[in-house]
Amino acid sequence: MRHGISTYNLQRRVQGHCDDSFLSELGQEGARQAGQVLQGVSFAATYSSPLQRAKETAALIHTQLETPPTTLQFTDLLKEINLAEWEGLLFSDVEKHFPEGYRVWRDRPHELTMKRATATGVEVYNPVLDLRAQAEQFWHEVLPHHAGETILVVAHSGINRCLISVAAGVPPDHYNALHQTNCGISILNFSGSLGDPIQLESVNLTAHLGEPLPNLRPGHQGPRLLLVRHGETNWNRDKRFQGQIDVPLNDQGRSQAAKAAQFLQAVTLDRAVTSPMLRPKETAEVIVKEHPHITLELDERLREISHGLWEGKLEEEIAVDYGHELEQWKVAPETVQMPEGENLQQVWDRAIAAWNDIVASAPGDRPTTILVVAHDAVNKAILCYLAGLGPEAFWTFKQGNGGVTVVDYPRGSGQPHILQAINITTHFGAGVFDQTAAGAL
């Protein structure tokens, strides 16, 4: 998680390596709120940046935990990005006095270079690429000590984005595509060492701060899209492959849809688009009931992947005739052609075309909020695309039944996007962890 709101955050100053900034009263309260929502989690250790805004956040979280870990380790590998030439300046002054550098930082941050003093003189360095190397070193050093354990990492916006990106394979040019709110919580599930498969369970949860969805950035003028997976079905619960068989929601799924509707009740929706299949359509209908001015639109391109001859079957039944293909689906899904069904590239092409059309059709002169309700495979494809990843990263993103993902286009639909939050399931009342069914697609 990121540290609480600091004095420099409130002043809109560049912090970076600078340690003149400390937690504000708002930041202290946010840290306590984060600690409260994490109260029952058993952490084997806490790792924190040594900069005082992060140190104080980690200490305040520990005061709220039922059994705080005995290990609280500070490491320079969790320090914030080094923006030596700008630190301490107002962002408005950076934009005014370093216009070209500021444009590069905003549009191509991985290409930004700066100068810094060293013991032998002055060197030119790349802040973002250096930070990614720092994040990589942190994971290499820490992960081997915590197999099967849960650890808490308290750091900063930039290093957290790099920690997530390096773990998930997100490329450097998407540095600005992942947002980290002060005291926002992200959950990464590692299967082993860095480079082994990883699941991003959730990114940037903020409900514990009284913000169900992350706030819009100042000056936001483009669309916000809320990407939702349908509620649970009996086949999700049974782990039976659904694909394009039209299975309706079960009682739990209808409850999830109602809770998602309540969660989004205060959000002003301008438009709603859904897959025409029963389970997402019913989920969307429950949500838009709270927004009677909305006419629900159907888009065939948002249908779930066609599993062909696998549909309606359990894994053990599929394994009888398609054992090799089933194993490939688990480890290299982009290589699998479903018998009499689709492959992931086909899903990619239609799902992303639908997404881009929805974004492009949003008004360019004012903020709008668009609800998109679809399926596990479709949502995963869209998220991989938005993170700069391909079909080989299909299993990276978890999509819980009724989970909500927030994607912003703050400068307009033709401009870069920001993944504000991924897979919010806190509206189901089970804390920060996604407790929804881990069923088949």
Is 304 one of the catalytic residues?
yes
Which amino acid belongs to residue 352? Answer: I
State residue 384's pLDDT score.
98
* Residue that has been written with the tokens 């639109």 in this structure: 297
Token couple for 325: 């293909």
Distance CA 85, CA 94 (A): 9
Q: Which of 179, 208, 230, 291 is catalytic?
A: 230
Say how many CA atoms lie within 13 Å of 345 toward its Cβ. Answer: 4
State residue 438's pLDDT score.
81
Say how many CA atoms lie within 13 Å of 147 toward its Cβ. Answer: 5
Which amino acid belongs to residue 351? Answer: A
In this structure, are strands 121-125 and 114-118 parallel, antiparallel, or unpaired?
antiparallel
* Residue ranges of domains in the chain: 7-209, 223-428
Q: How would DSSP label each residue in 152-189? A: EEEB-HHHHHHHHHHHHT--GGGGGGB---TT-EEEEE
Phi, psi at 414, each rounded to 5°: -90, 5
Q: Under CATH, to which class is 7-209 assigned?
A: alpha beta
Residue pLDDT tens, the chain, 441 long = 999 999 999 999 999 999 999 999 999 999 999 999 999 999 999 999 999 999 999 999 999 999 999 889 999 999 999 999 999 999 999 999 999 999 999 999 999 999 988 888 899 999 999 999 999 999 999 999 999 999 999 999 999 999 999 999 999 999 999 999 999 999 999 999 999 999 999 999 999 999 999 998 888 889 999 999 999 999 999 999 999 999 999 999 999 999 999 999 999 999 999 999 999 999 999 999 989 999 999 999 999 999 999 999 999 999 999 999 999 999 999 999 999 999 999 999 999 999 999 999 998 778 999 999 999 999 999 999 999 999 999 999 999 999 999 999 999 988 999 999 999 999 999 899 999 988 767
Classify residue 404 by its DSSP letter: E
Helix (H, G, I), strand (E, B) or coil at 199: strand
State residue 35's pLDDT score.
98
User: What is the number of H-type helices and E-type strands within the chain?
Assistant: 13, 13
Query: Which CATH number does the domain 223-428 belong to among 3.40.50.1240, 3.40.640.10, 1.10.150.650, 3.40.50.300?
Result: 3.40.50.1240
Is 417 one of the catalytic residues?
no
CA distances for 350 relative to 271, 303, 377, 430, angstroms: 20, 9, 12, 34
Opening angle at CA 198, ends 196 and 199, nearest 5? 165
Distance CA 310, CA 343 (A): 13
Quick one: which of 182, 183, 179 has its CA closest to 409? Answer: 179
Helix 251-263 / helix 278-288 crossing angle, nearest 10 deg: 40
End-to-end CA distance of the chain: 30
Q: Which of 304, 342, 417, 427 is catalytic?
A: 304
- Please return the burial class of 83, using the count of CB atoms within 10 Å of its CB with bins 0-12, 13-18 and 19+: buried
Classify residue 400 by its DSSP letter: -
Distance CA 97, CA 235 (A): 59
Question: Is there a common fold for 7-209 and 223-428?
Answer: yes
